[in-house]
Amino acid sequence: MAGSSLQQSLVALIMLDVLPAGSPASTVMTLSDLPLIELPAAPGSPLAVVLSGDGGWRDIDKEIAEALQQAGYSVLGWDSLRYFWQSKSPGTLTHDLTLAITAYRTRWRTKGILLIGFSFGADVLPFAFNRLPSPLRKQVEEMSLLGYGGRADFEIQVSGWLGAPPSEAALDAGPEIAKIDPGLVQCFYGRDEADSACPKLAGTGAEVVRLDGGHHFDGHYGEIARRIASGFAARSSRTN
């Protein structure tokens, strides 16, 4: 009973932050509704889209995004806590991601696309990638998955903040990853992570990167940003 009360209190506090006062919880339909964070760089820079973990835009997501911006990438952050507070489908995510990428490619005059996801964001990203319109999908030169677990809930699970595994409704991302050119994929995991799905990609042609620490890589976010950027540069040179 005490645990249930604590969980309800946690939900109430998060709701105050996630949903603006007086606004209904509704399905995202327009660009202005999307919980985006804008970190533009110079025109002609690559566009990096960063889907956060279920804790929202903070720590690892924020620091990697800022490091990439400093390295010359225009970064569009995606707050998964706000976006997935209500259940989404893979199709809805793809629609909204397409809307955002198309708009910001034009607005910022970017060249090349890099998709990055951490934890919750990494698990849903393969589903969205495979459903992007073909012309847009072909512009993606790298997909970097950080803390990838391989099972995707398309709705925030409060129990996940307490270390619980994905829900019974979570979708297996394995078949989605199998459809993606492994040469596009980076998968980062901590050597102390027991439940990472990254090792399953070893030998497929994907770049599997093991770093010190656990799910948050002991805070070595600058190193991760450098590895992401160097991987993108190498992949971009092969395709251009």
Could you read off the pLDDT of 21-79 as tens digits, one per residue? 333 344 445 899 999 999 999 999 999 999 999 999 999 999 999 999 999 999 999 99
* Global pTM value: 0.87
Cα-based distances in Å from 132 to 57, 74, 139 = 24, 20, 10
pLDDT of residue 235 exceeding 80, the answer is yes
pLDDT of residue 16: 38
Is there a domain that residue 206 lies in? yes
Is there a domain that residue 46 lies in? yes
Is there a domain that residue 7 lies in? no
Least confident stretch, 14-28, 99-113, 148-162, 194-208: 14-28
CATH code of the domain in which 68 resides: 3.40.50.1820
Rounded Cα–Cα distance for residues 228 and 184 (Å): 11
How many domains does one find in the chain? 1
3-state secondary structure of 67: helix
Of the candidates 95, 83, 15, 90, the residue with the CA atom closest to the CA atom of residue 53 = 83
Rounded Cα–Cα distance for residues 69 and 52 (Å): 16
Q: CA triplet 39, 227, 90: central angle to 5 degrees? A: 60
DSSP 19: S
Q: At which residue do the structure tokens 């070595």 appear?
A: 220
DSSP 170: P
Is there a domain that residue 16 lies in? no
Is there a domain that residue 160 lies in? no
- In degrees rounded to 5, what are phi and psi of residue 121? -65, -35
Is there a domain that residue 122 lies in? yes
Is there a domain that residue 222 lies in? yes
pLDDT of residue 22: 36
> Could you tell me the end-to-end alpha-carbon distance of the chain, in angstroms, rounded to an integer?
59
Rounded Cα–Cα distance for residues 115 and 126 (Å): 10
Is there a domain that residue 6 lies in? no
Q: Which residues does residue 142 pair with via DSSP β-bridges, in sequence order?
A: 114
**Are 147 and 189 in contact, with CB atoms under 8 Å apart?**
yes
DSSP 25: -
The parent domain of residue 219 ranges over 30-150+170-239
Structure tokens at 121: 């964001």
